[in-house]
A and B are shown apart, each in its own frame.
Chain A
Amino acid sequence: MPLTGIEIFKLLPKTNCGECGVPTCLAFAMSLATGKADLSACPYISEEAKVKLEEASAPPIRPVTIGVGDRALKIGGETVMFRHEKRFENSPGFAILITDTMDESKVNSRLEKFRQLQYERVGLTLRPELIAVKDESGDASKFESLVSKAKQNNECSLILMSTNPDILVAGLKTCAGRKPLLYAATKANLDGMAVLAKENSCPVAVKASGLEELAELTTKLTEAGVKDIVLDSGARTIRQVFEDQVIIRSAALNKKFRPLGFPTIVFPCEMTDNPMKEAMIASLFVAKYGGIIVLSDFQGESLFPLLVERMNIYTDPQRPLATTEGIYEIGGPDENSPILLTSNFSLTYFIVSGEIETSKVPSYLLVKDTEGLSVMTSWAAGKFVADTIGPFVKKCGIEDKVKHHKLIIPGYIAAESGGLEEELAGWEIWLAPGKGLISQPILKRGNHKEEAMFLIGENINVMSKTIGPALKERNPKPIQELAKAEVVAGVDYLDLNIGPARKAGDELMEWAVKTVQEVTDKPLSLDTTNPVAMEAGLKVHQGKALINSISLQPDRLEQELPLVKKYNASMIGLLWGTEGMPRDANERCVLAVDLIYKANGLGIPNQDIWIDPIATPVSVEINQVTACLEFMSMLADIAPECKSTVGLSNISNGTPTHLRPYLNRTYLMMLMKYGLYSAIVDAFDSELTKIAKGEKPELVDLVHRVMDGEKPDLPSLSEEEVKYVKTVRVLTGKSLYSHSWLEI
């Protein structure tokens, strides 16, 4: 226990000379008590007072340093029994054991593990610190060469283990400058070890049989001038070692018993032959007062948990670990990946980043400096609010990394979403559901890329009662009106379906492209089976056009595939083969591979190929509906980077008009599960657009859960949700389609 200012004052000269830099002796005493001044600043202090003061101000458990430089291990210096009383100061070192009777290969493997087993966590590197080199042969030269080998690793501190001082001398020859810990002084060799420790200025461990003998030996060493001591009570049973650790700590702190006021060393490696149990014993001494923990061997499965346990226990309770502010990229995100926001309280960071990793959805995690406070606490303290989050998001650089502007914030700070939308103009703020920090469904949604899901409006179609005549009469108005309306409705591409256009198709397509592009800068999807018309459209199209579509029929391939390259367009690759419609998912795969191979051969990159697996009406053949889904789940594997699209409305062909949206929307959500990139849709189904643009996460999640086999409790769902659940069952083939499927 340190002295109070008044107690120190009594030992000072009380002359108020001021030469120490402080006007009065009392003020100086106060500065000493708080550690702001050093005793040597007083020129007039008596020797007697100096000894007393130094003794009193010495820490109750001496800090001991093993090794030199950045990698030196500091242990001891502890001031409390329980971490909440203040904090634990110096975390214990982990040592791996090698002996001079071990096979060389075993030694090499342990040294390699020491080097290799390191872990990054909250910006820290968790790693072991020590290599314990043990003399078992009794042969000084063998020991010396093993020490030489161990010391080649510059990033470790060393423990030299032998009870024979002569052998330790041999080891010290090569590494005295590294200040290894000498293990161990015993009753039998105490004098020799004291000399060795002093000559080489190395810390020395004392091994006794019991605490009384331990105290006697340390007293003798201290008297001999050795200061840096590490304690081993000699016990090797779990109960006794545990009790010794507690008693040593308590004697030093509560009784100020100097002979035990040193850090300890424990040997799980000598307490069991079972590596798992050895790890358990080590975990016990991480929490309860071990200074150095010597393990026989390191294994990733045991060392990692020990290192994180140690980090946890030695975290300062007053100052929780904080994570550095910034953008954390988890799982290799790209420009379409979701962006999440959280505070820089390290525990929060762990939970959120852990969930993201488990979800396997590559994401950006924005960690805002909240002074280490949790989301809730920092929000309440006004440190995690729109005013501070907005500028952070803007300046952190995330806008350069992504194409979208959607930010997922913790549900706890829902109240900030309005403010944030003002602060971050052009950004959409999404809430993680419930009170949670984040939950997996919202991330999984990100995986379906609906931020990037492209909608191709299907409405400009020669079959339409207004568009057909307008095309024929070259009347721009209805076409332009419709194009504008589709853009307002939120589509990204406009499909321009002029049909087969056998007569003067080239002239018609050229006119149609120009007409539509007069009123919008959205790119067009040119939809005709006439290759000449296609090329005419491509010639005049501004921007990157999409060719809808190229199938595997030889004449189409031959005539249209070169156009993709020539006009730097994208293409929809329709999986329609020489034998017509593929029968199942596997046939779709075969066609896709064939088509992509041929396209690549002409220099068309995968990114420009949008595979359409062909959706077929639910009322015709349900196996084709499920085959289409199954194929979608395989596409990413067989054709990475290829995009995908589907003529969505096909699914509901032949069903009652007012019910078609349920089928279209549900099928879209189902395809989203497999990462569908785009869809050709009715531009004016606003609900569908919301789904595609990620505004219906709960509904999408529900559909996906039903697909996964979950059977939701129907009475707990809304009427609308029940309809989607029923539709999923129809589209997955669980129940047979009938026009009144929603009523059953």
Chain B
Amino acid sequence: MTFEIPKTSYSGKIRETTLGTGDKTITIGGETAYPFHLFEGEMPHLPKIAMEVWDCSPEDWAEAALEPFTGVTDDPVAWAKKCIDDYGAEMIALQLISTDPNGLNRGADETAEVVKKVADAIDIPLIVWGTGNEDKDTEVLRKVAEVCQGKNLIIGPVEEGDHKRIGASAIGYNHTVIASTPIDINLAKQLNILLSNLGVPDERLLIDPTVSSIGYGIEYAYSVMERIRMAGLTQQDEKLQFPIICNIAKEVWKTKEVHLANNELNMGDAKKRGILMEAMTAMVLLLAGADVLIMRHPEAIKLVREMIAELTTTK
């Protein structure tokens, strides 16, 4: 029986974006088909995983998540280097937890120094992620952008309320911005338009659709991401043809389930459970169109890398 493989007709392409500087830049995006639909189109750059580093010692991490980073969690530079040297990180995502006004509330100058130290110590692309407090992020990320001029950092979250001031700094000091909206395709598009109008170059923008863990409403982010990809690839919506970044580590590792003990509530091995919650969350979001995943556990990352490799292996 002759059988013709049905193919989607694509009319658009995701923009290619180059992150970082020097020899170890990373290019993402460029897809011409739905994720892993290699029988229909191309994925010239495979999705990348950024390893998470906190700018202060984590206090409430599950044992399983802390264990791989024993001895370095109070030093972001050492932590970042360990990610690269021991776990082969492709990118680093520095989470500015200490700047949270409801937490340690560390100031912009001090924080920018820490970011600078990390940026100087590594040669792979660096993502710098604020707390989502618009006033504080404006203050901190503007300073970070200035102090790290020329590093082509990826900075976010840039939200509607702070996009002008953070966006302007990013343009001025040549960084890439993460446009962050709350699980809503219309708002995502709107913010991309606003940032474009402001002058953020198209190759300097990533979309953060706001994601959650499996078991905690991941279907919302999943469908928003599928719709973003559909709009970009089949409806020529230029304002949605940007790579997507998913900040998943914090979401997964704060869930109740990763903190349960071994076999509590019939949920098996605590460490493996945490790893699988994170890796499966990553898997689901990769299928919806993630280009960059921010992850925590080295073993979860290894599993996800294997899945990416096998989904894209030549036949």
Contacts and interface: CB of A to CB of B under 8 A. Distances in A.
B250 interface: no
B65 interface: no
A315 interface: yes
Interface string B205-239: 00000000011111110110011001000000000
Among B5, B215, B255, B304, max chain A CB count under 10 A is at: B215
Interface residues of B, number: 61
B197 interface: no
Contact of A239 (B2, B38, B263): B38
B302 to A, nearest CB: 9
A301 B276 contact: yes
B107 A713 contact: yes
B70 interface: no
Contact of B272 (A212, A239, A299): A299
A311 B213 CA distance: 13
B315 A300 contact: no
Nearest to B214: A309
Interface string A691-714: 000000000000000000011110
A368 B64 CA distance: 36
Contacts of A212: 1-3
A50 interface: no
A288 B307 CA distance: 14
Contacts of A347: 216-217, 220
A242 to B, nearest CB: 6
Contact of B307 (A284, A306, A354): A284
16 contacts: A119-B267, A216-B1, A219-B1, A237-B310, A239-B310, A279-B280, A280-B276, A283-B284, A284-B311, A300-B263, A302-B268, A304-B267, A305-B277, A312-B217, A434-B102, A711-B104
A435 B272 CA distance: 34
A130 interface: no
A119 B1 contact: no
A247 B39 CA distance: 9
Contact of A284 (B101, B272, B275, B283): B283
Given A82-B223, A239-B310, A313-B222, A215 B263 contact: no
A721 to B, nearest CB: 13
Interface in B239-258: 254-257
Interface string A257-292: 101000000000000000011011101100110000
A400 B312 CA distance: 60
B230 to A, nearest CB: 7
Contacts of B307: 238, 277, 280-281, 284
B74 interface: no
* A interface, over-half SS: helix
B216 A354 contact: yes
Contact of B265 (A119, A246, A283, A303): A119
Given A83-B223, A713-B107, A305 B269 contact: no
A553 interface: no
A350 B219 contact: no
Nearest to A440: B60
Contacts of B87: none
B6 A250 contact: yes
A609 interface: no
B215 A305 contact: yes
B306 interface: yes
Contacts of B38: 239, 243
Nearest to B278: A305
